[in-house]
Structure 1
Amino acid sequence: MLSAAAFDDSAATYDDAFTESTIGRLLRAAVWRRLDAQFRAGDRVLELNCGTGADAIHLAQRGVHVLATDVSEAMLAVTRRKVAQAGMEELVQVAKLDIADLAAWGSSLRSETRDQRSQDDDSSPSRDPISDLRPPVSGLLSNFGGLNCVADLAGVAQALAGLLKPGGRAILCIMGPLAPWEWAWYLRQGQVGKAFRRLRRDGVPWRGLTIRYPSIAALRRAFAPMFTVQRVSAIGALLPPSYVEPWAARHPALLARLNRIERRLETAWPLPWLADHYLIEMVLH
């Protein structure tokens, strides 16, 4: 189970620190371009780790139905308030969901036999953790590192496959292990351990959680039995990470130029492999 407290503490400041920051706006706009390309009005999208609801509201404004979920009640409270302010209550449903529960459910599905799956037993560990909330789902979204908090990516993949219509699309934004911006930023400050923290095999402790940084290849392997990767792009390879905001504020012209170049080359090797986040788009077999 994920620690909701780790995210509750960030709910009040998240939008100021990231959503509304100069870098945050550019990074989210890059993701939105792909959401707009993949999801259409009338689609039903399950969003994991919805945070303060920026993506859910963006999709709803385009006519997409969204089930926005998060483990943090504080984040969900902000999302509900923003959804109401935007007048999107009919298109956005907000609910609590722990991604770790999805992983456990998916893991149990992998271990069950086909006969066991056919039994309708409420005590079964394979019971869908959002069975009372789920609409028909044609798309899945997890933005800005929510899946980095989960050890069992194969379990998540199995669970998501069970929630998605055949031919449905999944868009996942993952923090990768190789981040030259991070190396340069922290090495300049003499923080060698922090510069290369993403390379630790056992992950990085953070507020009671363990953050892991799967490579694109590792993510592909976890989802490969059920999903086909269609596209991988960089979200923050030439653009700096959000904690470099003070630097970005002093160099707006350079930041805009880096953004233009990154958007043109976002799928070109090696940018997705060297980005703060990579955006991987998949379709269910």
Structure 2
Amino acid sequence: MSSDSLKLLLGKDAVDLAYVEDGDSIFLISSGNNSRWPSRVLREGKAVVEIEGQSYERGAILVSELREKERILGLMSEKYGKDRTGRWFSPSSKIIEIKGSPPDPSKTDIYSNWLEAEFDSIASNYDEHIFGNEVNYLLRERSLILMERVFSSPSRLLEIGCGTGTETIELLKRGHHIVATDVSSKMLDIVSQKAKRIGLESQLTTIKLNGEQLESLIPTYGKNAFDGIYSTYGAINCIRNLNNIATKLHSLLNSDGKLVFGIYNRYCAPEIVGYLAKFKPKSAFNRLKNTAPEGESRFCIDVFAYSMPEVMRMFSSHFKLVYREGVPVIILPSNFVRYVRMFNGRMDTLKRLDYWLGRRWPFSMLGDHFLMVMKPLSLDN
């Protein structure tokens, strides 16, 4: 099996791609963030390729280890030359390994495997994604303002989807003890290293955990173990059915505790305005779908956008809403950051106005994300 290129068969479509072989594996590399074929392959966990007229259907996974990615790029350079490889591929290119039998969807959680691999692959650059984008940084500012108010004294907190610890570290500094969970072991390694560097590692416990598996914490920590639970800007939107987690969260939170969410909103007025101004009406309403596919949102994976009323319907039997806030509501979302930077001279004024409006109806319902605070209901009969 050898040729300069292969065809990746995607239903009725086909994409010609460079590739390399190594043992039983075939490796494909995307040409950058605008390539959509990787998500189509990873969504199903399999790929059909055609080489010299012969088709093969095999399993497909994302390569997330940095050294392995560098090794594969080296093989590409050997086959196609450094110049062509350098022109074709970039640091943001995804490398897909095609190998073995396709997974059985009834036995393999393909989405969770994709989720873990994606976040492992971006862990080393994740802080740059947050701190290098003014709107992403604004999101963290607003969530921390809220959590400093809600968790005003040192508490025992559970974080769902800690990432590299943007909020975790700030809350550790305020005396909280945190059980930080994430699907990515590489993200957890980074937040652990940060806590150790500032001498707060004794206040932090990290657990590799999917947000859909919260019940696994109860045998270790018991019921009503946490004074607060929080999850902001992404992790909740990677949970496919929020109906399944309200009971679990209620079991973990003590009766006086608070639940804080920051959720990617189904109805984002600034994004709709932004895309309509760019004459992209289809993109303006991508979030209205049940699933926002990779490539139609700014996430590296398919996500599930929720409106605030949807979340409250799913949580109303266990929690009561006590606070809500849209963020941002007049500042464009992070995928429009180059336009936002045009207003850098007035950003402080815009932030203050955004904060003021974001706490008022209807703006609280129409932001890029919404922050919400809930308290547990008594379920005693």
Coarse TM-score class (shorter-chain normalised): 0.7 to 0.9
Which amino acid counterpart does residue 180 of structure 1 have in structure 2? A
Give the drift of 1:20: 4.5
Which amino acid counterpart does residue 134 of structure 1 have in structure 2? Y
Structure 2: distance between partners of 1:77 and 1:186: 37
Give the drift of 1:42: 2.9
8 Å contact 2:140–2:166 — kept in the other structure? no
Is the aligned partner of 1:183 residue 2:275? Answer: no
Residue by residue over 1:87-120, the C-alpha shift from the partner in whole angstroms, topping out at 9 and shown as x without a partner, is: 2101121111101223xxxxxxxxxxxxxxxxxx
Residue by residue over 1:176-204, the C-alpha shift from the partner in whole angstroms, topping out at 9 and shown as x without a partner, is: 1111222233334443332211011x312
Q: Residue 91 of structure 1 aligns with which residue?
A: 203
Structure 1: distance between partners of 2:365 and 2:192: 35
Q: Residue 174 of structure 1 aligns with which residue?
A: 263
8 Å contact 2:329–2:357 — kept in the other structure? no
The structure whose RCO (Cα within 8 Å, separation 6+) is larger is: 1
Is the aligned partner of 1:140 residue 2:229? Answer: yes
Structure 2's unaligned 5+ residue stretches are 1-108
Residue number among 247, 250, 257 corresponding to 2:339 in the alignment: 247
Q: Residue 114 of structure 1 aligns with which residue?
A: none
Is the aligned partner of 1:130 residue 2:242? Answer: no
Q: Matched residue of 2:135: which SS?
A: helix
Which amino acid counterpart does residue 264 of structure 1 have in structure 2? W
Deviates more, 1:181-190 or 1:40-49: 181-190
Structure 1: distance between partners of 2:270 and 2:130: 17
Q: Residue 106 of structure 1 aligns with which residue?
A: none
8 Å contact 2:364–2:370 — kept in the other structure? yes
Q: Residue 191 of structure 2 aligns with which residue?
A: 79
Structure 1's unaligned 5+ residue stretches are 103-127
8 Å contact 1:233–1:280 — kept in the other structure? yes
Structure 1: distance between partners of 2:219 and 2:168: 20
8 Å contact 1:7–1:75 — kept in the other structure? yes
Where do 1:173-212 residues align within 5 Å? 173-200=262-289, 202-206=290-294, 209-212=301-304
Residue by residue over 1:31-64, the C-alpha shift from the partner in whole angstroms, topping out at 9 and shown as x without a partner, is: 1111011113331110001111111111111111
Q: Residue 160 of structure 1 aligns with which residue?
A: 249
Give the drift of 1:209: 5.0
Q: Residue 50 of structure 1 aligns with which residue?
A: 162
Structure 2: distance between partners of 1:131 and 1:226: 17
Q: Matched residue of 1:50: which SS?
A: coil
8 Å contact 2:308–2:365 — kept in the other structure? yes
Is the aligned partner of 1:234 residue 2:234? Answer: no
Q: Residue 181 of structure 2 aligns with which residue?
A: 69
8 Å contact 1:57–1:86 — kept in the other structure? no
Question: Aligned residue pairs: how many?
Answer: 259
Q: Matched residue of 2:256: which SS?
A: strand
8 Å contact 1:18–1:24 — kept in the other structure? yes
Q: Matched residue of 2:202: which SS?
A: coil
Structure 2: distance between partners of 1:181 and 1:48: 27
Give the drift of 1:165: 0.7
8 Å contact 1:97–1:130 — kept in the other structure? no
Residue by residue over 1:122-141, the C-alpha shift from the partner in whole angstroms, topping out at 9 and shown as x without a partner, is: xxxxxx31245437211000
8 Å contact 1:18–1:242 — kept in the other structure? no
Structure 2: distance between partners of 1:4 and 1:132: 24
Structure 1: distance between partners of 2:361 and 2:371: 14
Identity of aligned residues (%): 27
Deviates more, 1:268-277 or 1:257-266: 257-266
Structure 2: distance between partners of 1:54 and 1:176: 21
Residue number among 347, 352, 375 corresponding to 1:260 in the alignment: 352
> Larger C-alpha radius of gyration, 1 or 2?
2
Please give the root-mean-square deviation of Cα atoms over the aligned residues, in Å: 1.9
Which amino acid counterpart does residue 240 of structure 2 have in structure 1? A
Structure 2: distance between partners of 1:179 and 1:10: 26
Q: Residue 33 of structure 1 aligns with which residue?
A: 145
Which amino acid counterpart does residue 149 of structure 2 have in structure 1? A
Q: Matched residue of 1:172: which SS?
A: strand
8 Å contact 2:179–2:207 — kept in the other structure? yes
Structure 1: distance between partners of 2:281 and 2:125: 28
TM-score, normalising length: structure 1? 0.85
Structure 1: distance between partners of 2:246 and 2:130: 28
Give the drift of 1:208: 8.7
Q: Matched residue of 1:211: which SS?
A: coil
